[in-house]
Amino acid sequence: MFFIDVNYLRSNGGFMKKIFIALCLLPVFAVANETGESCSKLEDSSKRLECYDSVFKADEQSVKTDIQNWQYIEKMDEMRNKMTYAAYKFSSNSVDLPAPYEKDTQASIAIRRHSQFGDGVLFNLHGGHFKCNRVCNIAIKFDSDKVENYSFLKLPDNPDILFFFEKDESKLKNFVLKLKESKKLIVELPIYSVGKKQFTFNTEGLKWKYF
């Protein structure tokens, strides 16, 4: 079942954002994660957050090296004795953003079964912020199929992350099934000060059995 504790995420602000990014990029940032564990031992909260920022604000260029293959994560939640599973991939194209961003940005898609927050699909914008209401209507096309619209939730303290947010839980499973069966996905994402921009994902080869 897909579940997000919105109040919990809001109250933890930027720190939770770092956790999500760390979850999605865990194989790439293996060394950074080891350093992140040392950050958690700092007693001063401000210094601890500064430490996390220095660790997980990693060179995002270094994680853009493999756009052909899905990357996978398996991580044990020692407290709950449950596994977290995730698969993620970066878009094959980037978008040139004007001021105030002035950078090329990619999007990434991630599927997860989280030990605490449940099942979900998310889009992450690596540079820039999404511009839409709390619940965003996102156009998506698989292969040569017709364009479909899906609801995604934008968190107020994490405006570069969108979560799949359909009331009908079967839509999440159908979405992931289409990911597994397709070769290409095109998503149209609304970006602040830029408007709607399209990102393409080579989806072929996804191996996912958790929902």
Nearest to 5 by CA among 84, 116, 80, 110: 116
Are 164 and 120 a contacting pair, CB within 8 Å? yes
167 — pLDDT class (breaks 50, 70, 90): confident
The residue count for the chain: 211
Neighbours of 147 (CB within 10 A): 10
Q: Per-residue pLDDT for 7 more than 60? A: no
Are 91 and 201 a contacting pair, CB within 8 Å? yes
68-115: pLDDT as tens digits: 799 999 999 999 999 999 999 999 999 998 877 778 899 999 999 998
107-153: pLDDT as tens digits: 999 999 998 889 999 999 998 899 998 899 999 999 999 999 999 99
9-23: pLDDT as tens digits: 444 444 344 444 445
The more confident residue out of 6 and 80 is 80
pTM of this prediction? 0.71
User: Average of pLDDT values for 189-204?
Assistant: 95
How far is CA 55 from each of CA 31, 46, 195, rounded to the nearest angstrom?
9, 14, 31
Are 98 and 118 a contacting pair, CB within 8 Å? no
205 exposure class (CB count in 10 Å sphere: 0-12, 13-18, 19+): exposed
Q: Would you call 201 helix, strand, or coil by DSSP?
A: strand
22-70: pLDDT as tens digits: 454 433 333 334 344 455 566 666 665 566 455 444 434 444 445 579 9
